[in-house]
Structure formats: structure tokens, C-alpha cells
Amino acid sequence: MRSLSLCIAFSLLSCGPADAPAAVQSAAPPAENAVSISAGASYDFESPSASVDLPEALREISGVTVLPDGRLAAVQDEAGVLFILDAESGAVLSEQPFAGPGDYEDVAHAAGAVWVLEANGTLFEIPESGTAREHETPLKKKCDAEGLAFDSARSRLLIACKEDPGEGFDEDEHRAVYAFDLATGSLLEEPVFLLQRSELDSDDNFKPSAIGVHPLTGEIYVMSSVRRAIAILAPDGRLARVVDLPAGRNAQPEGMAFLPDGTLFISNEGPDAPATLQRFAPAR
């Protein structure tokens, strides 16, 4: 564990054992673009309630999270910089360096700090003010960690691997989600969720690029940028449904975050055009 000097001024939300891996069950065919959730809400991914282009500095946006005051925090692939965004316009309000160049893949708010995930599994804990701390985990580079989310019910961070699910698991068969226990500051040895590729892959491979926990239902949303799709897991890890995202609106979906009321943000990298931030209000 190393320390990096940093002073960050933004408002953060104060925010609670570990589970065995859960093998997902069969999913219904992804024939629609609306995702039903147990609270009775749905998202129409063909028609976002808002969609804005992001500044050039965020063309390679790789993750987004919601701060308690309603602003967003985002990271991009190469720069160790936390971008604070206006949630309505997508405008960059401030840029706050936390580390040197790297491969930063996602961001989450938890336990009074912002956490940033590097592709090699390293976590950066960025408090409201003071010193940013670097936590190394046993995850290997070949895991290609890309998704990070706060699971408040179990006081842990969920980390989704894009590639290798870890020792003892077959990459041709599984995708894995691990958990970092905030109480102990350590990674659980075994995945907490195992996703069966036979139920997730279509013409394109399902490779997790983001993960989120629905604030009203506790369901786990796992998004893939290669196969533009979201897999929805019940809180115990059973696969409920997979839905394809419209390709025309999602060049490269890499980031996902929820407001407390269930409003969903999806951010897209912009390989050949500006990056975008889409907002989806849950229908009732």
C-alpha cells in the first residue's frame, strides 16, 4: 500500500459479510430494449431522457459515479485525474489529479471517499481531503478489471473482470465479479458472482466494462462494451435477464451509475466522435 499526496475539495456521501460465488441461471433471450426490474420500473434504452456530448478531455471516459450533491465524478483511460461533472450538461467543473498516467477503468463512491479502479486491480481511495491511498489487490493484469461499484448492503466494492476470471475458473466458460471488503481493506479470494458465458455471449463476446447496484432493488447490473448489453442479476447472483443496447446510441458503453431514485447514467467512449453521457429515467 502506497500513499500519494493529494488534496481534493468536493462533497462526498457518507454511507454497511462476504458471499460464496453464485452461479447464474439461464437468461431469457434479449429480444427487447426495455429492462424490467422487480420494483416495477423499466428503462427504454432507445429513448434516453437526456443525452449530451462530453468535452474532448473525456473522449476516453471509462467510468462514472454519482456524488451526494448530484454532481458526477468520472475518469478516463490514461490520465490519473478525477473529473467532476455537471450531471445535466456534462460540463467539466473541475479536474483533480490523484496519480500519474495509468490504465484507469472505473470509479465509485463509497465510505466517504471516491475509489478509482486500475486495470491491474489496484484501487485508489480518494478521500474528501487529505491523502489518496493506493490499495494493491491479488487480481492479475490478465483479469483486466474494468467494472467498479459500491454494494452498500454488504459494505464492499464489486470488481468485474473483463477477461480472465481467476485461478480455477475457465475463461472460455466464465466471467467473474470479485469483492473488496471495505471493513478489512482486502479482496475476497473467490469471486462473489460467476457469470456463464454460454448465457451471455451472442454474436459478440460479453466482456464486462461496468457494474452497478440498483439502489431500489439491489439488483446487480453488469454492462458489456463489446457485446453492447446489460446483464441483470438478482441480489443473490442469479441471472434474471440480458438486454442488448442500441448500437446507434452506444459506440462504446464503458461507464454506468445510478441516482438514488433509480435514474441511470451510461457513458460512452467516443472512438470516432465525442463521448456521450446518457440519462434514463425509470418508467412507472
User: What are the pLDDT digits (tens) for 66-80?
Assistant: 999 999 999 999 999
Greater model confidence, 32 or 92: 92
SS3 assignment, position 170? coil
Q: In the structure, what pLDDT confidence band is assigned to residue 257 with cuts at 50, 70 and 90?
A: very high
The percent of residues above 70 in pLDDT, for the chain, comes to 85
pLDDT of residue 128: 83
Please provide residue 142's backbone torsions phi and psi, each rounded to the nearest 5 degrees.
-70, -15
pLDDT of residue 284: 63
Q: How far apart are CA 2 and CA 49, in angstroms?
A: 42
The percent of residues above 90 in pLDDT, for the chain, comes to 79
pLDDT of residue 140: 87
Contacts of residue 34, Cβ cutoff 8 Å, sequence gap at least 6: 42, 43, 44, 45, 243, 283
Q: Residues 10, 96: contact at Cβ < 8 Å?
A: yes
Burial per residue of 82-106, b for 16 or more beta-carbon CB atoms within 10 angstroms, e otherwise = bbbbebeebeeeeebebbeebbbbb
| Domains identified in the chain, total number | 1
pLDDT of residue 6: 40
Q: Tell me the per-residue pLDDT of 133-158, one tens digit each, with 9 for 90 and over.
A: 999 999 989 999 999 999 999 999 99
Burial per residue of 12-25, b for 16 or more beta-carbon CB atoms within 10 angstroms, e otherwise = bbeeeeebebbebe
pLDDT higher than threshold 90 for residue 13: no
Sort residue 84 into left (φ over 0), alpha (ψ -120 to 50) or beta: beta
Residue 120 maps to which CATH number? 2.120.10
